[in-house]
Chain A
Amino acid sequence: MTDVPKFNKSPWVVHFNCNSCNGCDIEFLACLTPLYDLERFGILHVGNPKHADVLVVTGSVNHRNSRVLKNVYDQMPEPKVVVAMGVCASTGGIFADGYNVLGGVDKVIPVDVFVPGCPARPEAMIDGVLKGAQILEAKHSGKTPLAEKNVITRTPTPVAAPAAQEKGASHA
């Protein structure tokens, strides 16, 4: 554990369950409990998005929860990072063909870190959150975030409407 980055701030995490099968959720909860213990990095799980720096999303987005997800995201203070846990949150995963599924979380809000796996293993999740915390740190200090892809546009990309129509058309 030598290369664990040092943080100047302790990043607080809020978790939102979009459209997941619960597999990723309980694995993320397991990260918070004694065996994996995310709190040893100063990471705290909070319920209120207004207190949080890191948004952890599990599961894909659908027509109904995309609005709630965006609400939660908008309520978080800047700077903030989003970590998509599991393939569902990254691309839609096994449910990508669903008539109700828009796809990965990046269809609605900008995502900084994608964690693969179905469900992602707790070790991978911890890694994902730590990467997110590093990006957060970089954003705090005003430095350019790690990779071009990770740059968050201030205004979240307008979503749902065009994406939903495309999806609807292809299914019709």
Chain B
Amino acid sequence: MIRRNTIPFGPQHPVLPEPIQLHLVMENEKIIQALPAVGYVHRGLEKIAEKKDFIQDVYLAERICGICSFMHSQNYCQGIEELMKVQIPDRAKYLRVIWAETHRIHSHLLILGLLADAFGFENLFMRLWKVREQILNIMEKTTGARVILGVCAIGGVKRDITPELGEYVLRELDSVEKQLPELMDSLLKDYSVKQRLVGVGVLPKDKAHELGAVGPVARASGLRMDLRETGYAAYGDLDFKMVVGEAGDCYDRTMVRVKELYTSLDLIRTALKRMPQGPISVAVKGSPPADEVLARIEQPRGELNFYIRGNGTRNLERFRVRTPTFANLPALLHQLTGCELADVPVIAICIDPCISCTER
């Protein structure tokens, strides 16, 4: 006998770190439809941005999301700099890359850990987060804060990385890299872990394209899209290589993230080596932005878009945020349809959902 049930999943749920609610329509153990219910973390941030000064909005933008905070402020600053025609010093561009990539590493380690927790491997979760603390230490040493850095400003950055600090960063990165292989082997080669990941939540390439997936979700399905290839900030000079998967299942999404950890480590090392001397910021002159711009950046979760429109006053006229998780939600719903209830946490975490930034 087939029975139809609707199960509400979230917003407060033991395995789901993020407050999203999914209504799962089930037929026995199979999900036939998944519907998201959102609004639990809506803060009205876009409207608050209009009330504040456009310079204060840097700090507001940073608090769109606490996990990739630096990248939000970087994107906002890049947008405003484009509007006000500010040329920032090269050293600032390199410093931005360094902090952005440390954020990517800590974000990927975080989600890999949560994934381990979701399939019941708590030990791995703890160990991944232990490594992540070293990355946070780097951020704390270089900027003074652990997650919300507050070092990005319009016209450059606010802190410099001295040669001694650079040495320290390199040492820490080496130590992180030494610990990674063992952990990554348990993620990618372990028999029981593979049982939970391979072939689960498949998103074929054409579907990924059609549903507008971005970031590691799209790359795991074989789509070659990574904004870092466009060479914004200093990425153009850093020999960046994109990581792509092919199968589009949870395993490939995990693998893409694991490989990106190594790319990011390399990017930071190269950036530290090639960073030119010079000032770290320029004074911003001229009237407030009066035009519109679409700022884009590659976040750990994919492409982040800001639409910024000024009207010549100190308050913006419109600030619109489109985060990568928002773009990935249709892909998530597609993957959930037809899967089993027990796989929901793994599939949901594999798109690396960040609901706080999606709902702003």
| Bound CA span A65–B18, Å | 13
- Residues on A with C-beta less than 8 A from B12 are 16-17, 49, 68, 72
Encoded as 1 (CB less than 8 Å from any A CB) or 0, chain B from 11 to 23 comes to 1111101110000
Please determine whether B47 and A99 come into contact, CB atoms closer than 8 angstroms: yes
A100 CB–B CB distance under 8 Å: yes
A35 touching B130, Cβ below 8 Å: yes
Rounded to whole Å, the gap between the CB of B181 and the closest CB of chain A is 19
- Known contacts A17-B17, A65-B11: does B129 contact A30 (CB below 8 Å)? yes
Would you call A95 and B126 a contact (CB within 8 A)? no
- Asked if B129 and A101 make an inter-chain contact with CB atoms under 8 angstroms apart, the answer reads no
Given the known interface contacts A47-B15, A59-B41, A94-B59, the answer about A20 and B356 at a Cβ–Cβ threshold of 8 Å is yes
Q: For the complex, what is the distance from the CA of A72 to the CA of B12, rounded to whole Å?
A: 8
Contact between chains at B129 and A34 (CB < 8 Å): yes
Give chain B residues whose Cβ lies under 8 Å from the Cβ of A122. 146
Task: Find out whether the CB atom of B130 lies under 8 angstroms from the CB atom of A23.
Answer: no
Report how far A98 CA is from B52 CA in the complex, Å.
11
B342 touches A (CB below 8 Å): no
Instruction: Report if B133 contacts A (CB, 8 A).
Output: yes
Report if A65-B14 is in contact (Cβ < 8 Å); known contacts: A22-B65, A22-B67, A97-B51.
no
Which residues of A (6-33) have their CB < 8 Å from a CB of B?
16-27, 29-30, 33
A21 touches B356 (CB 8 A): yes
Please state if B59 and A47 are interface contacts (CB–CB under 8 Å).
no
* Residues 91-128 (chain A) with a chain B CB within 8 angstroms: 94-95, 97-101, 118-119, 121-122
Q: Please, which residues of chain A bring their CB within 8 A of the CB of B69?
A: 21, 23
Interface residues of B in 276-322 (CB under 8 A from A): none
Residues of B within 8 A of A95 (CB): 43-45, 48, 63
In the complex, the answer to whether A97 meets B48 with C-beta atoms within 8 Å is yes
Closest to B63 in A: A21
Flag whether A90 is at the interface (Cβ < 8 A): no
CB pair A121–B146 under 8 Å, yes or no, is yes
Q: Tell me whether B42 and A64 are in contact (CB under 8 A).
A: yes
Contacting residues, chain B, for A94 (C-beta < 8 A): 48, 59-60, 63
Which residues of the other chain, A, contact B127 by a CB distance below 8 angstroms?
34
Task: Assess the A22–B43 pair: CB atoms within 8 A.
Answer: no
- Give the CA-CA distance A122 to B354 in the complex, in Å: 21
Complex Cα–Cα for A17 and B13 (A): 10
Does A48 belong to the interface (CB within 8 Å)?
yes
Please encode chain A, from 63 to 88, with 1 for each CB lying within 8 Å of some chain B CB and 0 for all others: 01100100010000000000000000
Residues of chain B with a CB closer than 8 A to A62's CB: 40-43
Question: In the complex the two chains form, what is the Cα distance from A26 to B13 in whole Å?
Answer: 16
A101–B44 touching, CB < 8 Å? yes
Residues in A whose Cβ lies below 8 Å from that of B18: 17, 22
Chain B 56-70 per-residue mask, 1 if CB under 8 angstroms from chain A, else 0: 000110011111010
- The answer for the CA separation of A98 and B69 in the assembled complex, in Å, is 19
Interface residues on A, range: 35 or more
Instruction: Please indicate the chain B residues that have their CB under 8 angstroms from the CB of A48 in the complex.
Output: 14
- A60 to B42: give the CA distance in the assembly, Å: 10
Tell whether B110 is near chain A: CB-to-CB under 8 Å. Answer: yes
A33 and B129: CB pair below 8 A?
A: yes
Q: A22-B356, A34-B129, A68-B11 are in contact. Are A60 and B43 (CB under 8 A)?
A: yes
Contact status B67-A26, CB under 8 Å: yes
B43 touching A23 by the CB < 8 A rule? no
Known: A21-B64, A22-B356, A99-B44. A27 touches B130 (CB 8 A): no
Please tell me if the beta carbons of B59 and A119 are within 8 angstroms of each other in the complex. Answer: no
Q: Are B130 and A34 in contact (CB under 8 A)?
A: yes
Distance (Å) between the CB of B163 and the closest chain A CB? 28
Choose among B12, B18, B147 the residue with the greatest number of A CB atoms under 10 Å from its CB.
B12
List A contacts of B39 (CB < 8 A).
64
Could you write out 7 A-B pairs with CB less than 8 Å apart?
A23-B63, A23-B67, A26-B66, A35-B133, A64-B39, A64-B40, A95-B43
Q: A94-B59, A119-B66 are in contact. List 19 more A-B contacts (CB 8 A).
A: A20-B356, A21-B65, A22-B354, A22-B357, A23-B67, A23-B69, A23-B148, A26-B67, A27-B66, A34-B126, A34-B130, A46-B14, A59-B41, A62-B40, A65-B19, A94-B48, A94-B60, A95-B48, A98-B48
**Nearest 6 pairs of A and B residues by beta carbon:** A47-B14, A23-B66, A98-B44, A33-B129, A22-B66, A100-B44
Which of A's residues lie within 8 Å of B, judged by CB?
16-27, 29-30, 33-35, 46-49, 59-60, 62, 64-65, 68, 72, 94-95, 97-101, 118-119, 121-122
Measured CB to CB, the residues of B under 8 A from A are: 11-15, 17-19, 39-45, 47-48, 51, 59-60, 63-67, 69, 110, 125-127, 129-130, 132-133, 136, 146-148, 354, 356-357
